[in-house]
């Protein structure tokens, strides 16, 4: 039992760590390619400078993403050998495709980083575009595999044995498209807000720095375009979850009793024993409307399922509210920014807005971490929804506390070093208007 706990904790830790870099690997190359594209069109050297600076950040983050992703691919077998024995043949396909996307990304990132003066400018920019596209494709394939765990199709289960495997049908599982859209957009939102926060910080100190103005402008553009789309996608994925995984949905909303005209429960303390959520903010009919677009609709509650098939309601409910809360805050900021821009028709650099954007820097990443907690903890006790329980998939190896501690130390060490390094990288440049 203790080993099961440490297996789950190690997996959660590795995922939580890797996701940050996976997201950076999707968002940063796009920014870097945008900056170089601007340079090719405008010939303003600041944009070239910016592309190079962002490329260095991308290189550092990509390296950590590559190795932490390697850890995950091993851990699938190290911690969940029976999961892989069942799932490998069905969802190995997207993992193989991801391998190719990742390979493309690594090759062209190598070219991009080291061949600034060894190839024609347009070809160099194109290699950056390839990095951005293959980065996003890597994400698409991994999310496809995860979506299959939520909506497993493409096989028949006969007496506990998987037969009639159809890997294409498994890839086309009903959760895949919504999850992909939601996560890729989330990456652009998170990176957009985080990067604009960094440059807003320097811009506040020196409003005349063209370097940080241009950087801030591009990152802000990415964030502002993505966040409203992300809200729409969030609504669609919630409706999908209500249909595909009603217990997960019920846990997200701390919704214990099946009822019509269900209220939306925000915050509060879910109590499984009493089957009620105390101290919560309730919006009448809100849940029925959000889940089914009809204030009178019936929403299935946790009471429709045996107790041993419930996920941890408190964790899932709070993670969900945190995710949505972060998304709402970012959306409000986007409205504020858009309003400023519409009024002045120039880069909004109002000091109060800059301060708010600096504060909002981590929101996208908090939302992503919380969102993955919703997806993964919400799927429990299943590792493959309705097919295989997590506890039945865990490795027989004991003493898992040791690797858990080792990787915790390793990741803490890497995080500290990274912050230190990125700081050294930035402090070196923040002073003003170079070469422009």
Q: Is 7 exposed, middle or buried (0-12, 13-18, 19+ CB in 10 A)?
A: buried
CB of 81 to another protein, least distance (A): 3
List 9, 16, 89, 314, residue binding another protein (CB under 8 A): 89
Told to check if 82 binds another protein by CB under 8 A, we report yes
Closest among 55, 65, 57 to 124, alpha carbons compared? 55
CB of 122 to another protein, least distance (A): 15
Told to check if 339 binds another protein by CB under 8 A, we report no
List 20, 33, 51, 111, residue binding another protein (CB under 8 A): 111
CB of 50 to another protein, least distance (A): 17
Cα angle 190-195-200, degrees, rounded to a multiple of 5: 125
CB of 432 to another protein, least distance (A): 19
* Interatomic CA distance for residues 124 and 24, integer angstroms: 21
- For the record, the structure tokens of 64 come out as 């950590």
* Interatomic CA distance for residues 75 and 151, integer angstroms: 22
Q: Which of residues 400-429 bind another protein (CB under 8 A)?
A: 403, 406-407, 410, 414, 417-418, 421, 424-425, 428
Question: Do 425 and 40 form a contact (C-beta atoms < 8 A)?
Answer: no
Told to check if 115 binds another protein by CB under 8 A, we report yes
x/- binding map, residues 153-172, to another protein, per CB under 8 A? Answer: ---------xx-xxxx----
Told to check if 386 binds another protein by CB under 8 A, we report no
CA 129 to each of CA 24, 67, 101, 133, 134: distance values in angstroms, whole numbers, following the listed order = 15, 23, 13, 6, 9
Cα angle 233-68-201, degrees, rounded to a multiple of 5: 65
Told to check if 2 binds another protein by CB under 8 A, we report no
Strand, helix or coil at 175?
coil
CA 209 to each of CA 37, 159, 199, 203, 216: distance values in angstroms, whole numbers, following the listed order = 20, 67, 10, 7, 11
Residue 106 or 328 with smaller CB distance to another protein? 106
Q: Which residues bind another protein (CB under 8 A)?
A: 56, 59-60, 62-64, 66-71, 73-78, 81-82, 84-90, 92-93, 95-100, 102-104, 106-111, 113-115, 118-119, 162-163, 165-168, 395-397, 403, 406-407, 410, 414, 417-418, 421, 424-425, 428
């Amino acid at each position: 039992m203790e080993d099961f706990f440490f297996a789950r904790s190690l997996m959660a830790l590795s995922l939580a760590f890797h996701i940050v870099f996976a997201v950076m690997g999707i968002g940063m190359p796009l920014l870097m390619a945008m900056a170089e594209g601007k340079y090719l069109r405008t010939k303003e050297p600041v944009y070239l400078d910016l592309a190079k600076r962002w490329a260095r950040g991308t290189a550092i983050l990509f390296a950590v993403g590559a190795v932490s992703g390697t850890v995950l691919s091993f851990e699938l077998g190290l911690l969940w050998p029976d999961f892989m024995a069942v799932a490998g043949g069905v969802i190995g396909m997207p993992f193989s495709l991801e391998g190719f996307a990742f390979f493309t990304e690594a090759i062209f990132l190598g070219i991009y980083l080291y061949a600034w003066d060894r190839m024609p400018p347009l070809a160099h920019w194109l290699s950056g575009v390839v990095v951005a596209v293959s980065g996003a494709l890597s994400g698409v394939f991994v999310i496809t595999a995860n979506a299959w765990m939520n909506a497993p199709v493409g096989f028949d289960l006969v007496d506990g044995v998987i037969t009639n495997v159809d890997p294409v049908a498994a890839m086309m599982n009903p959760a895949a498209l919504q999850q992909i859209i939601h996560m890729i957009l989330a990456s652009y939102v998170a990176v957009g807000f985080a990067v604009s926060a960094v440059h807003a910080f320097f811009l506040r100190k020196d409003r005349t720095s063209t370097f940080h103005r241009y950087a801030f402008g591009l990152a802000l553009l990415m964030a502002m375009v993505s966040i409203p789309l992300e809200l729409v996608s969030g609504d669609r994925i919630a409706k999908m979850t209500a249909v595909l995984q009603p217990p997960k949905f019920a846990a997200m909303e701390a919704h214990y009793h099946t009822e019509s005209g269900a209220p939306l429960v925000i915050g509060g303390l879910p109590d499984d024993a009493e089957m009620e959520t105390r101290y919560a903010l309730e919006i009448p009919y809100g849940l029925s409307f959000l889940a089914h677009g009809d204030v009178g609709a019936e929403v299935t509650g946790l009471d429709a399922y045996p107790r041993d098939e419930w996920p941890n309601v408190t964790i899932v409910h709070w993670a969900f509210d945190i995710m949505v809360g972060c998304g709402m805050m970012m959306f409000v900021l986007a409205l504020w920014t858009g309003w400023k821009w519409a009024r002045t028709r120039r880069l909004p650099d109002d000091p109060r807005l800059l301060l708010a954007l600096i504060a909002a820097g981590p929101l996208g990443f908090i939302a992503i971490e919380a969102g993955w907690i919703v997806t993964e903890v919400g799927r429990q006790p299943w590792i493959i929804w309705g097919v295989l329980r997590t506890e039945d998939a865990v490795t027989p190896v004991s003493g898992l506390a040791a690797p858990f501690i080792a990787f915790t130390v390793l990741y803490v060490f890497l995080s500290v070093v990274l912050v230190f390094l990125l700081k050294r990288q930035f402090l070196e440049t923040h002073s003003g208007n170079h070469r422009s």
